[in-house]
Structure 1
Amino acid sequence: MRTIGGYADTEWGQVHYRRNGESGPWIGLFHESPLSSRVYEAVLPLLGRHARAVAFDTPGYGASDPPPSRHTEIPDYARVLAQAAARIGMERPVLGGVHTGASLAIETAAALPGGVCGLVLSGVALLDDAERAAYLSRWTPEVPFDDHGAQFGWGVERYRRIWGADVPPELLHLAVVELMRTHDRYDWAYQAAFRHDPAASLAAEPAPVLLLDAEFDLLADKDPRALELARDARLLTLAGLPGQPHLRVPDRYAAEILAFAREITPEEREPLS
């Protein structure tokens, strides 16, 4: 089935999304900073065989209108994303997200009037005070610009450093292009995520949680605490994977989300083929 794009009107303007699938449970996906819903391009058709899958561009990223200022907080982003989800008819979805997207999924679940059926989280930013301060001060330097294209080399170096020197060229290209699209505000949601502590909302969430994480993800060491905080949680670690499960192993990522969704929404069960 073909993935289609669309826009939902919200208090901040339009939120862009990609959608695949016409029946089955709703699945909503949120991306890491500073990228876009493009990171789910390979995942959406796989989910769309058995679900109504939607990947949103965080406000200010991809093709979504930006928030009113750089000082917007994660619950504010989540409120607007909940408006977008409601606008397209999502009811009791399974929400998933990676890094910033994980925090957005947790807070959007709290903002949706009907709640969610479950959460699929990869890299929950349960930072201590020292880690929070370090990320806030060091993670988002100003993008360099000159007439030789220093910004592009900087972007390549950045993603080779944080995603690994062996990152596949197509993933490196995707990441750098998306970063360059929002170079003047790439840090907005990053900084909001570093300021935000998702612990209380995760602990308050009544729906089941699947922690679907790469073994060597930057935030994999936070999974044990996430397991302790959530009321009903399980951990599935993708062995040997350095990070980015949705990009590096989209088949496995989609299969695990579908299996989880079918388990927690039994009324939606249908044969998988």
Structure 2
Amino acid sequence: MRVRGGYVESDWGQVHYLTAGTSGPWVALFHESPLSSRVYQQVLPILGRHARVVAFDTPGYGASDPPPRNGFEIPEYAAVLARAASALGMADVVFGGVHTGASLAIEAAHVFDRGARAVVLSGVALFTPEERADFLANWTPQAPYDVEGGQFAWAVERYRRIWPNLTTDMLQLAVTELMRVVDRYDWGYQAAFRHDPGLPLAALDIPVLLLDAEFDLLADKDPVALELAKQARLVTLPGLPGQPHLRAPAEYAHQIAEFLREVAAR
């Protein structure tokens, strides 16, 4: 199935997206920082057989225009993306996301003006205050930037460290996307670390699928998310060290498609 790209106007300029599928329920997917909708490149044609899927580039990442300045919060990012989804004619949407994208999906479901049916969350950042402070202080050091190419070596080392057992294709994607936004790669990260998704997750009155890799960096937060959400179930993809949408795209898409059928049957 063909994956197509496009742009939609937003309060912060243009938002870029990739899309697949021409019928069925609407699904909006949001990526982790500091990457782009390209992380869903293999998921889209599979899930597009069952739904109309749109994967957005978060403002400031991928090919989307950045916010006017640093310092905006996750609900503000989510509101821009929700209005972009509305401008595309999406309605009764299932919102999904990974890490930062999970927080965006939760908040977008609250503010979307054309109906949210459910959410699919992979790695919800339900940090303790100590964890939050540590991530804010240490996860986004300033990247080198020099004619010797120190920034490239830094990015390669970073992803080899934080994504265990990554493939060559995963490394290429991650480093390429990080280099596109190296001067502002921390903007969305820092917004996600400042944001506590606990209360907005607990306030959702729609079905929640927690779809995670067994050894994801945030997998230990799944029991907390399961307890907070009113209508939640957890599906763990065994053996994966993280990034289920990249490491097991067919199974990731299959689980979402099954969830869409469950939601439609309610």
- Normalising by the residue count of structure 1, what TM-score does the alignment of the two structures yield? 0.96
Cα shift at 1:146: 2.1
CA distance in 1, matches of 2:54, 2:39: 12
Q: Which position in structure 2 is the counterpart of 1:118?
A: 118
Q: Which position in structure 1 is the counterpart of 2:100?
A: 100
Q: What amino acid is the match of 1:32?
A: E
Q: What amino acid is the match of 1:46?
A: I
SS in 2 for 1:237: strand
Q: Is 2:34 the counterpart of 1:52?
A: no
CA distance in 2, matches of 1:211, 1:127: 16
Q: Which position in structure 2 is the counterpart of 1:31?
A: 31
Cα shift at 1:148: 1.6
Q: Percent identity?
A: 66
Q: Which position in structure 2 is the counterpart of 1:88?
A: 88
Q: Is 2:176 the counterpart of 1:172?
A: no
Cα shift at 1:115: 3.2
| Structure 1: gaps (5+ residues) | 268-273
SS in 1 for 2:116: coil
Cα shift at 1:266: 3.1
CA distance in 1, matches of 2:226, 2:115: 20
Q: String of CA shifts for 1:166-191, please: whole Å, max 9, x gaps.
A: 21011001000000000000000000
Q: Which position in structure 2 is the counterpart of 1:228?
A: 227
Q: Which position in structure 2 is the counterpart of 1:21?
A: 21
Q: What amino acid is the match of 2:140?
A: T
User: Is residue 86–residue 114 contact of structure 2 (8 Å, CA) maintained in 1?
Assistant: no
Q: String of CA shifts for 1:49-82, please: whole Å, max 9, x gaps.
A: 1110000000000111111211000000000000
Q: Is 2:194 the counterpart of 1:195?
A: yes
User: Is residue 75–residue 107 contact of structure 2 (8 Å, CA) maintained in 1?
Assistant: yes
> What RMSD, in angstroms, separates the aligned Cα atoms of the two structures?
0.9
User: Is residue 19–residue 54 contact of structure 2 (8 Å, CA) maintained in 1?
Assistant: yes
CA distance in 1, matches of 2:143, 2:213: 28
After superposing on structure 2, the runs of 4+ consecutive aligned residues of structure 1 that deviate more than 6 Å are none
Q: Provide the aligned length of Structure 1 versus Structure 2.
A: 266
Cα shift at 1:262: 1.2
Cα shift at 1:145: 1.8
CA distance in 2, matches of 1:259, 1:162: 30
- Normalising by the residue count of structure 2, what TM-score does the alignment of the two structures yield? 0.98
CA distance in 2, matches of 1:174, 1:85: 25
Cα shift at 1:147: 2.0
Q: String of CA shifts for 1:196-239, please: whole Å, max 9, x gaps.
A: 00011100000100000001000000001101110000011111
SS in 2 for 1:265: helix
Q: String of CA shifts for 1:92-116, please: whole Å, max 9, x gaps.
A: 1111100000000000001102331
Q: String of CA shifts for 1:113-148, please: whole Å, max 9, x gaps.
A: 233111110000000110000000000001102222
| Structure 2: gaps (5+ residues) | none
CA distance in 2, matches of 1:137, 1:258: 38
Cα shift at 1:21: 0.5
Q: String of CA shifts for 1:16-36, please: whole Å, max 9, x gaps.
A: 100100000001100000000
CA distance in 2, matches of 1:21, 1:235: 26
